[in-house]
Amino acid sequence: MLKIARELHDAIVEHAKRDHPVEACGMVAGPIGSDTPQRFIEMVNAAGSPTFYEYDSTDLLHLYRELDDRDEEPVVIYHSHTATEAYPSVTDIKLAGEPGAHYVLVSTREHGNNPGSVEFRSYRIIDGVVTEEEVEILDPTGGATTAASPNEENR
């Protein structure tokens, strides 16, 4: 199960809506071994594409050095789908190289960058096997405010 603070959830959704129709991408880092997403890191989709995302290799190198310096790791790796459901594509599955990470997909296909709900779903992707997991959105005091089951839309 992915447990994520409301502010981080909202930042991911806001980024996905703002970048629509281009796929948004980024990650949320946390202390190594904690499985606790804490630091939102918005990345630029170097491909500028509505159908796939790509990190700039120089930016990614700098980010991983920064993560090492801060004793952090990617806890959540996210991107958006602008025209399809929030489910990993064949390419997404092939590129999933962090077995300990939660892979979050946000679909903006219904409302684009206009007000309205999005699909916000999380997966574990290990050795090409995709497993959807529940998402628990935490209020600022740490209590659960929303427990989203797989396929449930979040606002």
H or E, element range at 69 = helix 57-69
When pLDDT is averaged across residues 39-58 and rounded to a whole number, the result is: 96
Number of C-beta neighbours around residue 2 at 10 A: 24
Q: DSSP secondary-structure letter at 115?
A: S
Domain of 77: which CATH number? 3.40.140.10
Q: The domain containing residue 118 runs over which residues?
A: 2-154
**Residue 37, preceding bond cis, omega within 30 degrees?**
no
pLDDT-based confidence at 39, cuts 50/70/90? very high
pLDDT-based confidence at 152, cuts 50/70/90? very low
Number of C-beta neighbours around residue 30 at 10 A: 18
Q: What is the pLDDT of residues 97-121, one digit of tens each?
A: 999 999 999 999 999 999 999 999 9
Q: What angle do CA 102, 17, 79 make, to 5 degrees?
A: 25
* Mean of the per-residue pLDDT values of the chain: 92
Residue 149, pLDDT above cutoff 50: no
Residue 142, pLDDT above cutoff 80: no
Number of domains comprising the chain: 1
Cα–chain-centroid distance for residue 111? 18
When pLDDT is averaged across residues 69-78 and rounded to a whole number, the result is: 98
Q: 35's torsion region: left (phi>0), alpha (psi -120 to 50) or beta?
A: left
